[in-house]
Amino acid sequence: MAVGIFDSGLGGLTVLDAVSKRLPEVPFVYLGDNKHAPYGVRDADDVYDLTCAATQRLWDAGCDLVILACNTASAAALRRMQESWIPSDKRVLGVFVPLIEAMTERQWGDNSPPREVAVQHVALFATPATVRSRAFQRELAFRAIGVDVEAQACGGLVDAIEEGDMILAEALVRSHVDALKRKMPTPEAAILGCTHYPLMEDVFQDALGPEVSVYSQANLVADSLADYLVRHPAMRGPGETPMFLTTGDAKRVSDHATQFLRRQISFQPA
């Protein structure tokens, strides 16, 4: 019974890989809106419209539950979608909350008042749109007090990763870490707030130093989804066929995805 996973491009494949290993019995339908990627440079209304269209396509594929494996969509569109657009028999979940729960050492669904936590200085690396939304800070404030967050917009990094230019991607990571450290010299934790960034996690860790705890999302989201499906088994949709869908050029996206995950991936037009 299918579950949908959406990203503006290929970054959500890091989440798909983790959830597929964690839940091998679940058929996942992945949709990449490669035609309109990257989302990180778009305004909030544009991101909202594109995310709604992609979510509808996944519902049409038999996925009653859709995971926004795109931090920009989670940050700029999800709350608005939940308040005014998603029908009662569907669910759309983002990728911020599992990350924040892990960092603040909370169990899923712990809605107790915000409290002091061990980590006081947090670096957030994300797309420009995610940084502008301040969604991470908002969600964190529901759970923790006294945490200083310094956000660094990582312009150009998603494009470099999507194009497979890892030399440029590494240079950009180191440049963005240097810029962050000028604002926050000694972060205790770093959030990789884009699902593309786990592919560069070793570079982030090296640039930040071994004393900084680096949090990325794929495995945390996989554990959270497994827990959610145990508690809400009815949210597995009627779809039965795993698929990779793209709004872009299917052959080109397939080639990049194969390089991205180091296994054969075949996309079809959405």
Contact 19, 221 (CB under 8 A): yes
Helix (H, G, I), strand (E, B) or coil at 246: strand
Q: Beta strands 121-126 and 144-145: pairing type? A: unpaired
Say whether 70 is catalytic: yes
Where are any strands of DSSP class E within 61-162?
65-68, 91-93, 115-116, 121-126, 144-145, 148-153
Output the CA angle 7-10-16, nearest 5 degrees. 70
CA distance 6 to 9: 8
Phi, psi of 150 (to 5 degrees): -115, 120
Say whether 52 is catalytic: no
Catalytic residue among 52, 63, 154, 194: 194
Helix (H, G, I), strand (E, B) or coil at 53: helix
Catalytic residue among 52, 63, 70, 154: 70
Output the CA angle 183-184-187, nearest 5 degrees. 160
Q: Where in the sequence numbering do the catalytic residues fall?
A: 70, 194
